Amino acid sequence: MKPKILFILHLPPPIHGAAMMGKYIQESELINSSFDCFCINLATAGSLSDIGHISLKKLLKYFFLLKHISNVVREIRPELVYITPNAGRKAFFKDFIVVQMLKSMGCKVIAHYHNKGVSVYQSKWVYNFFYKRFFSNLKVILLAENLYKDMAKYVKREDVYICPNGIPSSCKEEMEARRNNVIPHLLFLSNLLISKGVIVLLDALRILKEKGYLFNCQYVGGETAEINAMQFVVEVERRKLNDRVAYAGRKVGEEKNTFFQQADIFILPTMNECFPLVILEAMEYKLPVISTNEGGIPDIVKDGENGLICEKQNPYSLADCIAKLLDDEELRVKMGNAGYEKFCREFTLQRFESRMLDIFKIFLKRKKKTNF
């Protein structure tokens, strides 16, 4: 008989990185053929704007979720329970209850983190108290080695597995790194959030325009409570970038891919990130990437090889990086090709599934030998 694994994970909607990776795991032929898999959706929010907000409807949904998890565990008796918890804020306490319930039922649990923030909250005695209990007798999967420092206080390195995300290919055929645009095309693709670098990029573009650089920049992504389309237009006009910057709205599928195909440079000057899948998408399209040293990004973008790393919240640093690539088409091509090669080696969906399979096999083998 195949080992039984219960996957308690986030599934879309809403669409975000953790939900998409959950979907890939749920649909993985490799994982489903190797284990007897059962899935429960951990999400209680129906939209991105609903994340982090408490309501009676969500509380009721959560209590029914706890009962459902308990019933499934008793019925199938899994050898392993996989969960994708939150690192902080109110959502952590929701996941704390789930994990402690699983432990009390004798389950062996592995937590796969698609977010960070433990080190931010650990100085507060309430979080410190619960973190010590949460991470006790728990194995952890992280997206990058650089993220271990976030929870080093509570988790031994030997209890951590590293598994970078991977994505399915969206290119119908291999792209040419050289785009041959007369005026270079810059691309920002993310929701309109200040933490993603929406405003700092506009400030950098104003600096470049004042220096006489020619470029067109497309912003692609959904409106948010922080910045809607009208507010974005106001910010663009305030910086006199109407002739250089356009907002295309949220795009998916082939419409989104068209923007990757037309761009010369991909830019994500994020201030709060773990492992952005959109950078992997840009690498598949042979785009040089400009981003920050936030979260696991330094494990994806090697400064000077397949992109450039700028200082967070520093429009002058960002402008310098963009200028460097605007000035040198050959460097753009070289970095774009290097990024594509790195994507093919490390960040395909097949590579992700293979890594996850290996982690589960190692975990179950250790469980048999040591009883965890």
DSSP state of 286: T
pLDDT at position 365 is: 87
- Is there a single domain that holds both residue 78 and residue 114? yes
Can you tell me whether residue 188 is helix, strand or coil? strand
- Is there a single domain that holds both residue 138 and residue 224? no
In a domain, 306, yes or no: yes
Residue carrying the six token digits 């795991």: 25
How many Å apart are CA 355 and CA 349, to the nearest integer?
Answer: 10
How many Å apart are CA 235 and CA 74, to the nearest integer?
Answer: 55
Residue 282 identity (one-letter amino acid): A
- Is there a single domain that holds both residue 148 and residue 13? yes
- Is there a single domain that holds both residue 154 and residue 203? no
**Rg, C-alpha atoms of the chain:** 22
Q: Which domain holds residue 42?
A: 4-167+349-370
Q: Which of 289, 326, 314 is nearest to 209 (CA)?
A: 326
In a domain, 180, yes or no: no
How many Å apart are CA 337 and CA 343, to the nearest integer?
Answer: 10
pLDDT at position 101 is: 97
- Is there a single domain that holds both residue 202 and residue 310? yes
Residue 138 identity (one-letter amino acid): L
CATH of the domain at 325: 3.40.50.2000
Residue carrying the six token digits 């509380």: 59
For residues 14 and 224, is the Cβ–Cβ distance under 8 A? no
In a domain, 313, yes or no: yes
Our count of domains for the chain comes to 2
How many Å apart are CA 135 and CA 96, to the nearest integer?
Answer: 10
How many Å apart are CA 313 and CA 297, to the nearest integer?
Answer: 16
- Is there a single domain that holds both residue 210 and residue 253? yes
pLDDT at position 170 is: 84
In a domain, 39, yes or no: yes
Q: Which helix (H) or strand (E) holds 311?
A: none
- Is there a single domain that holds both residue 338 and residue 189? yes
Residue 21 identity (one-letter amino acid): M
pTM score: 0.92
Q: Which residues pair with 6 in a beta bridge?
A: 38, 81
pLDDT at position 83 is: 97
For residues 192 and 222, is the Cβ–Cβ distance under 8 A? yes
- Is there a single domain that holds both residue 74 and residue 219? no
In a domain, 176, yes or no: no
In a domain, 131, yes or no: yes
- Is there a single domain that holds both residue 157 and residue 228? no
- Phi and psi for 358 in degrees, rounded to 5? -60, -40
- Is there a single domain that holds both residue 357 and residue 216? no
- Is there a single domain that holds both residue 218 and residue 136? no
pLDDT at position 52 is: 63
pLDDT at position 121 is: 95
pLDDT at position 89 is: 86
pLDDT at position 54 is: 72
What is the chain's pLDDT, residue by residue, as a tens digit (372 residues)? 899 999 999 998 877 788 999 999 999 999 999 999 999 998 776 665 566 667 788 889 999 999 999 999 999 999 999 999 999 888 899 999 999 999 999 999 999 999 999 999 999 999 999 999 999 999 999 999 999 999 999 999 999 999 999 999 887 778 888 998 999 999 999 999 999 999 999 999 999 999 999 999 999 999 998 999 999 999 999 999 999 999 999 999 999 999 999 999 999 999 999 999 999 999 999 999 999 999 999 999 999 999 999 999 999 999 999 999 999 999 999 999 999 999 999 999 999 999 999 999 999 987 666 555
